[in-house]
Structures are given as C-alpha cells and as structure tokens.
Amino acid sequence: MQTITLKIPATTPHSYPIIIGENILGKTGSYIKQNTKAKKILLVSNAIVYGLYGNIVKQSPINEEFEVYFLLLEDGEEFKNIKSLETIWTKAIELKLERRDALAALGGGVIGDITGFAAATYLRGIDYVQVPTTLLAQVDSSVGGKVAINHPLGKNLIGNFYQPKAVITDTSTIETLSGTEVKTGLAEVLKYGFIEKSCGLSGFEMTFTDYLDKNRKITPELIKYCCELKAAVVNRDEKETGLRAILNFGHTIGHAIEKCYGYKGITHGQAVAIGMRGAFILARNRGLVGENYYNKCIKLLDGYGMDYKINKNIAPELLYKTIQVDKKVISGKIRFVLPTGEGIVDIFNDIPEKEVLDVIDCLY
Ligand code: NAD
Ligand code: GLY
C-alpha cells in the first residue's frame, strides 16, 4: 500500500491522504472512519459500478458501525448536471444528514465531480471522500478538489474548489474497465508526460514517457506518479490563479468538443486527446517546438491509439464559439496551454482566431 499526503496549500496543516493499493475497497469503512467524524454516510454511485463493487464497499462501512446509504445516479457525462446534483441534495435532506456526516463518491470522474459539488454545497459544506474506480479518476479527477457539473452552454462551468477528506484508490478496479475507458484514462496519463517538467517535481529516475514505454501497462506506481505530479501543482496553486492551468493541457479544445457533442458519444479523454494534438499543431505552427519533438509527441498519441477525429457534423465556427466560453478566458481572451519544450508547457493568451481555426481544420 502506498500513501501520498496532499497538503493544500503545502504550508498549512490541512492535508488528506491519497491511499493507493490493490484490493483495498474492503477497507473503505476504516479509511472513512480515520478521516471523517461521520456517523451517516451517503455513498453515491451508478448501477454499473454498484453492481461490480457495491457489496464490497457497503459491507466495509457497516463493519465500522456507520449508517450507510446508497444513491445510484444515471450513468454518463450527459447526467453530470443540475438534476443529478439535486437528487443528491434531496436524498441527503431526506436522510437528515448532519454537518458532521459525509458523502462518498464511488465511481469515475462524473460521480466524483458531482458528489464533490454536492458535498461543497449541502449545509454549506460537509465532508466527502473519493473512491475512484476509473483510471481517469485515479490519476486525475479524484485529486485536487475541483468539483463541478456541466451546463448546457459549457463544460464544468458550475463548480467549486473543495478538497475531499481522503482519496481511496483501489487500482484493481481498473481491471473491469472497457478498453475505451482505459484509453480515456491514458489520455490524461499522457498529458502528465507532456507537462511533466512544468509540474515542479523532480527526483524520478526516468522521464514519464520512458516509464510508460518501459512498462507498457498501468501499474500502481504509475498511478502514484501521476498523483504526485498533480499534487505538486495543486500544492502550489490550489485555486488556479496561474500554474494549475497547465493541468488543462489539451482541455481548451477538448472541453468545447464535449459540449458540441452534447456530452454524448465522446469520452472526456478522447476529447482531450484531440485537444492535445491541436495544442501540438498550434505550437509547431508558432515555432514554439521543433519538428523532432512535435513528431515524437504525435507518434506517442498515435501509438496509444489516440488518433481520434472530430465529427464532421460539428462546424468549426461553432467549436470556436464554444471555446470562447472556456473557464480560462480572461478579459475575453482565450488562453491556451501550449508545449514549448520537452515536458514543458506555458500559457498563451494572444492567439488570433485565424490561427485557432487553422488548427481546428486539421482535427477533422
Ligand atoms: P465516467 O465517470 O463517466 O466513467 C466512465 C464509464 O466507466 C462509466 O460508464 C462508468 O459507469 C464506468 N465505470 C466506472 N468505473 C468502472 C469500473 N471499475 N469498471 C467498469 N466500468 C466502470 O468517466 P471518467 O472518464 O471516469 O471521468 C470523466 C469526468 O471526469 C468528466 O466529467 C471530466 O470533466 C471529469 N474530470 C474532472 C477532473 C477534476 O479535476 N475534477 C479531472 C479530469 C476529468
Ligand atoms: N484536471 C484539471 C485540474 O485538476 O486542475
């Protein structure tokens, strides 16, 4: 078992553990007990994840003498909305959850983001715990406290920064993921490779992409490595006043794609993979990276099967308009995170419309 302690910000006593291990779901109850004062726990999940892991998790809090309740939401990005959020609030009120009680999110990034936002808002904030079961959620969304729902006009536009009390990551849950969902998580894993040096963490014996190439499979060490990179960024900029935006590499175009698809028919990781390709093309066109590094990264994306294209039904102009409501926009200017060297990215806010449209054209 490996535990990372995330301190946010690093200089204050506030901290929470990210507990990473194989077959640890059965200990969920004791981890919740160690990290909250809850007497009642509302576990939020969906039918798929509950069917696979509900019983193991449910038994464990009962052993710890909690009152445990389950709420199953509909499955899918299109349900990461105000209605699902309200369903959680209503259940919490019906169960008379009090301020010291807690929510727990058992599932992927969708369940994690909505449940975290429900915890941030119910009774002005109660504790919650993340129990991520997708690769994407284990390497990214369960860590760092971004909680949100989608709005019909834009992705993740309604949300908060609200840290969990613990993240309980059972890496064996990724064995039941479909190939598509593994690849979706891999897109965020590759993202860390592209931003690695800008994360401000040193001490690993090889570069991220070399590590991936050497192992050719997801290991608990890899998941820990991603969480450490993310923690290094979040510790320095919890509320995204600057540096944290680098974690959104590939997301400016990616989020707009998801919105244009109506949050259906494309996964978050697929959209981010297209967005990262767009960022590399934009950077090459601007001379920010040389041909060699550009080709290496495009080869990596292709090699991991991330050669997705945007559906031709989506007009480039609509995509561009959607990018303009991205959360990172400042004074009306779109901001892009672009590569400027091997594992290095920077933030740019002066990209003319034509340059962006030229790149978008290459993504169909
Ligand atoms: P998801 O939550 O929709 O899960 C993908 C699918 O896998 C779902 O059908 C789910 O039911 C199923 N599933 C979950 N665990 C399973 C398991 N162990 N075995 C079999 N099936 C399983 O998608 P996701 O990729 O996990 O998360 C995407 C979401 O995360 C997006 O909404 C994105 O915006 C968000 N996100 C948030 C952050 C953050 O910092 N908060 C970071 C990255 C992404
Ligand atoms: N996934 C982006 C962030 O956590 O900031």
Convert the pLDDT of each residue in 307-358 to its tens digit. 999 999 999 999 999 999 877 777 778 889 999 999 999 999 889 999 999 9
- What separation in Å is there between the alpha carbon of 106 and the centre of ligand 1? 10
**More reliable by pLDDT, 62 or 177:** 177
User: Mutate which of 134, 191, 244 to test ligand 2's pocket (most atoms within 8 Å of Cβ)?
Assistant: 244
- Predicted local confidence at residue 26, as pLDDT: 94
Give the number of the ligand closest to the Cα of residue 245.
2
In which element (H, E) is residue 277 found? helix 268-285
Based on the fold, state whether residues 92 and 116 are members of the same structural domain: yes
- The alpha carbon of 108 and the centre of ligand 1 are apart by a number of angstroms equal to 3
Nearest CA to ligand 2 atom 3: 247
Q: How confident is the model at residue 206, as a pLDDT? A: 64
Pair (164, 192) in one structural domain: no
Separation of alpha carbons 34 and 86, rounded Å: 29
224 is a domain residue: no
Residue 234 counted as domain residue: no
CATH number of domain containing 119 = 3.40.50.1970
CA nearest ligand 1 atom 20, residue: 177
CA 360/CA 244 separation, integer angstroms: 25
The predicted structure's pLDDT at residue 240? 92
Pair 204, 84 in one domain:
no
pLDDT at position 8, please? 72
Residues 164 and 273 in one domain: no
Q: Which residues are catalytic?
A: 124, 146, 188, 230, 240, 244, 248, 251, 255, 268
Q: What is the pLDDT of residue 38?
A: 96
- 255 part of a folded domain: yes
Considering the domain architecture, whether residues 280 and 306 belong to the same structural domain is answered as yes
344's enclosing H/E stretch is strand 344-348
Q: Note whether 187 and 269 are same-domain residues.
A: yes
List, for residues 29-51, the tens digit of each pLDDT value.
999 999 999 999 999 999 999 99
Give the residue, by CA position, lying nearest to ligand 2 atom 1: 247
pLDDT at 113 > cutoff 80:
yes
Show the tokens assigned to 27.
Answer: 């200990």
Q: What is the 3-class SS of 110-121, one letter each residue? A: HHHHHHHHHHHH
As for how many domains the chain has, the answer is: 2
CA quadruple 73, 162, 142, 1: dihedral, nearest 10: -120
* 278 assigned to some structural domain: yes
238 occurs within a structural domain: no
Distances (CA, A) of 314 to 33, 167, 300: 48, 37, 26
Of the three residues 149, 176, 203, the one that is the final residue of a domain is 176
Distance 137 CA to ligand 1 centre (A): 6
Whether residues 124 and 70 share a domain: the answer is: yes
The Å distance, Cα 76 to ligand 1 centre, comes to 8
Cα of 159 to ligand 2 centre, how many Å? 12
Question: Which ligand sits nearest to residue 269's alpha carbon?
Answer: 1
Do 263 and 336 have their domain in common? yes
Residue 193 lies in a domain: yes
Query: Mutate which of 55, 110, 157, 177 to test ligand 1's pocket (most atoms within 8 Å of Cβ)?
Result: 110
How far apart (Å, rounded) are the C-alpha atoms in residues 83 and 86? 5
Based on the fold, state whether residues 190 and 321 are members of the same structural domain.
Answer: yes
Cβ burial of 332 (10 Å; 0-12, 13-18, 19+) is: exposed
Please indicate, yes or no, whether residues 87 and 202 belong to a single structural domain of this protein: no
Residue 56 pLDDT more than 80? yes
- Please tell me the least confidently modeled range out of 58-72, 174-188, 195-209, 319-333: 195-209
Domain that holds residue 209: 179-219+247-361
- Which residues line the pocket of ligand 2, CB cutoff 6 A? 140, 144, 146, 244, 247-248
| Domain end residue (candidates: 176, 204, 230) | 176
In a domain, 241, yes or no: no
Whose alpha carbon is nearest atom 39 of ligand 1? 141
The answer, yes or no, to whether residue 136 has pLDDT greater than 70, is yes
Q: Are residues 167 and 275 in the same domain?
A: no
Residue 203, pLDDT > 70, answer no
Domain end among 157, 176, 195: 176
Q: Which atom of ligand 2 is nearest to the CA of 188?
A: 1
Q: Whose CA is nearest to atom 5 of ligand 2?
A: 247
Q: Which protein residues touch ligand 1 with a CB less than 6 Å away? A: 46, 48-49, 52, 75, 77, 80, 107-111, 113, 133-134, 136-137, 140-141, 144, 146, 156, 173, 176-177, 181, 184, 267-269
Instruction: Tell me if 231 is assigned to some domain.
Output: no
- Which atom number of ligand 1 is nearest to the Cα of residue 156? 34
Residue 299's CATH number: 1.20.1090.10
Q: Does one domain contain both 333 and 201?
A: yes
Mean pLDDT for the stretch of residues 142-167:
95
CB half-sphere exposure, 48, CA atoms < 13 A? 13
Nearest atom in ligand 1 to 53's CA: 18
Phi/psi of residue 205, each to 5°? -80, -15
pLDDT at site 7: 75
